[in-house]
Amino acid sequence: MIPIKLNRENVSIAIIWLFHLSGIMGILYGNSEWFISATPLNLSINFILLLINCNGHKWFFPLVILGFFTGMITEIMGVQWGWIFGDYQYGNALGYKVLGVPLLIGVNWALLTTITGAIAQQFYQNIFMRIIVGVGLMIFLDLLIEPIAPVLDFWAFDGGEAPLQNYIGWVVVALFLQSTFHYLKVSVEGWFPHQLYLLQIIFFAVLLIKQTTIGI
């Protein structure tokens, strides 16, 4: 049996697994409304652990700040004027809003840019491939979330389904953030980003399957 080191990264990974699996089980078999309402707490913990585990590079925090403000500004433009992503509004599940956009959405843009960039960085040497893979990982997660976002009271597009404009907007914004991440050569070591991205995929895939079969 291989011994597991009790270090910062492994403890952090154990925490995010605990929270995500608890959320899945709670939404599937328990009080789904309560667990959905805990989304801001879960996202905040993910972000704090990301900062703790991945802050070794000089450009890490500037990149996080850039991701946050890029996300907030583009989302505000979408909510207020229908630019970039289309016409949509945020629900109340993600907490406090500024000009109609939850602050946690800016946090999520920063988090998602970092973990997808880190994954692409560790598998590819070519900067072009890193950018393309990072963008692809970001878009894939959005594709999973979009169908169940209205059910979770995250956000809802006018007319129901997310339009093509939304995905084009995501590609443009993700391309800018991933290009910046890899141009600055932000180095993120360890497996925490991989585990967090995997858990996001599992979490929303399970909810999507449940929603399409019996509803949440």
| Confidence check: pLDDT of 3 > 70 | no
**101: in domain:** yes
Asked which of 9-18, 52-61, 112-121, 157-166 is least confident by mean pLDDT, the reply is 52-61
Note the pLDDT tens digit of each residue in 63-74.
999 999 999 999
**111: in domain:** yes
**1: in domain:** no
DSSP 3-state of 213: helix
**Token digits for 99?**
């000009």
Alpha-carbon distance 215 to 199, whole Å?
21
pLDDT top residue among 6 and 172: 172
| Confidence check: pLDDT of 198 > 80 | yes
pLDDT at 195: 95
Q: What's the whole-number average pLDDT of the chain? A: 91
Alpha-carbon distance 142 to 156, whole Å?
13
Alpha-carbon distance 6 to 154, whole Å?
35
pLDDT at 38: 86
Alpha-carbon distance 161 to 181, whole Å?
31
**47: in domain:** yes
Banded model confidence at residue 92, pLDDT cuts 50, 70, 90: very high
Note the pLDDT tens digit of each residue in 114-130.
999 999 998 889 999 99
Residue 6 main-chain phi, psi, to 5 deg: -90, 75
Report how many domains make up the chain.
1
Alpha-carbon distance 141 to 66, whole Å?
20
Alpha-carbon distance 143 to 147, whole Å?
8
Pinpoint the alpha helices (H) of 54-184.
60-81, 103-123, 127-145, 164-183
| Confidence check: pLDDT of 11 > 80 | yes
State what percent of residues in the chain have pLDDT above 70. 97
| Confidence check: pLDDT of 34 > 70 | yes
For range 3-29, the mean pLDDT: 86
**131: in domain:** yes
pLDDT at 2: 53
**109: in domain:** yes
DSSP 3-state of 55: coil
**80: in domain:** yes
**2: in domain:** no
Dihedral sign for Cα atoms in the order 127, 131, 136, 141: positive
Sequence-distant (6+) residues with CB within 8 A of 27 are 35, 36, 207, 210, 216
Q: Is the pTM of this model over 0.85?
A: yes
For range 3-23, the mean pLDDT: 87
For range 86-114, the mean pLDDT: 95
For range 5-31, the mean pLDDT: 87
For range 166-178, the mean pLDDT: 97
pLDDT at 133: 97
For range 22-40, the mean pLDDT: 83
pLDDT at 36: 79
- Residue 72 belongs to domain spanning: 8-213
- Under 8 Å between Cβ of 45 and 155: no
- Under 8 Å between Cβ of 203 and 152: no
